[in-house]
Amino acid sequence: MTDTSQNFDDIRPYNDSEVPAAVQRIIADPEFIRAIIRYRFGSSAPWLMTLASPLLSWYLRRHWSGLKTVQAVQQYVATYLQRTLSHTTRSLTCTGLSELDPKQAYLFVSNHRDIAMDPALVNWCLSQAGFSTSRIAIGDNLLKKTCVTELMKLNKSFIVRRSAKGPREMLKALGQLSAYIRHSLSTGHHIWIAQKEGRAKDGRDQTDPAILKMFYIAGKQAGIEFPAYMASLQIVPVCLSYEFDPCDEAKAQELYQLATAGNYQKTEFEDIESIVRGITGNKGRVHVHFGQVMQQPSELADPDTLAAAMDRQIYQGYRFYPANYLAAEQALPPELAAEGCAEYQRRLESMPAEIRPYITQMYASPLQNFEKLAEH
């Protein structure tokens, strides 16, 4: 099922031969150096930039110049991620991977709460269980800076061209993306992609059938029926459960603006700020559940049916925390009763009153989704 006739160079991640040059470009990028200094010291004072820039450049040359392969880059990232998780999470647990085959390539489709941490946590769990890491779908809206593009492509990210203009250009971009996913899976590479465009800011995780239609473009061109082609992709729904969302207040502010003003205009680098906040903010406990491969013929009939079946697996995979029960105005189950909800209550009370209903809905939605599933 391999497709080698199409050129993917404009969307694919870097391969090993491209890593050394990409690393050197990042190290030599003054904007990247300035961004790290501002992030680390919270200041853009000229004297600080002048003093710290050459020291940081020297440090990066010393520690990064030895990165020659994608695996070496990911090992470096994993070291940083492990250190970050030790400071920002109370625990990280994972279920479901024991039911999957490390030798099989899977298309992981997950709920989407955090721009960077969702795929990072999925890859962390895969790596810890002896699986290879996945290639990561990332929207080109996040690639406004050259250094960000370089970093993402070094870390197995491929580009989803959301900015394509006009029906013809959009169809071409979607066809290329579909073919690239097919090509990656057929050559033994896992894929991670979110279940819908953009994060579920209200907590109502729902697979967009349009994503599944995009997957099928390559199958349709090959003359394969929808059920058979989707079965061949080895789709695995993945559910990420965060006890606390570091971006919850920012998401609620956006929802409030949309509800009261009818529109919301992102600042130029708001997505990048969300990435930093998601990585560095407190997440409490985190759970990643890998579902079962979508293989039942009755679930693969059409995009809407498949999307609903994937949602059922995601809702069943939730891990619930005190905040979910408090937000949904439900009593804590016995195993959580001793913990109480003090931390969530403090978090809620620290936010402006007008956005609290959106915060509450955000944390209540997973439990409500699960209960609606149980009713049917």
73-126 pLDDT, tens digit per residue, is 999 999 999 999 999 999 999 999 999 999 999 999 999 999 999 999 999 999
Rounded CA-CA distance 147/136 in Å is 17
198-229 pLDDT, tens digit per residue, is 999 999 999 999 999 999 999 999 999 999 99
Tell me which CATH code domain 70-375 carries.
3.40.1130
User: Which residues, in sequence order, are CB contacts of 254 under 8 Å at separation 6+?
Assistant: 201, 264
Q: What is the mean pLDDT of residues 266-281?
A: 87
pTM, whole model, 2 decimals? 0.94
48 pLDDT higher than 90: no
182-198 pLDDT, tens digit per residue, is 999 999 999 999 999 99
User: Which residues, in sequence order, are CB contacts of 224 under 8 Å at separation 6+?
Assistant: 232
End-to-end CA distance of the chain: 38
Q: Which helix (H) or strand (E) holds 275?
A: helix 270-280
3 pLDDT higher than 60: no
Sequence spans of domains, the chain: 70-375
Type of residue numbered 70 = V
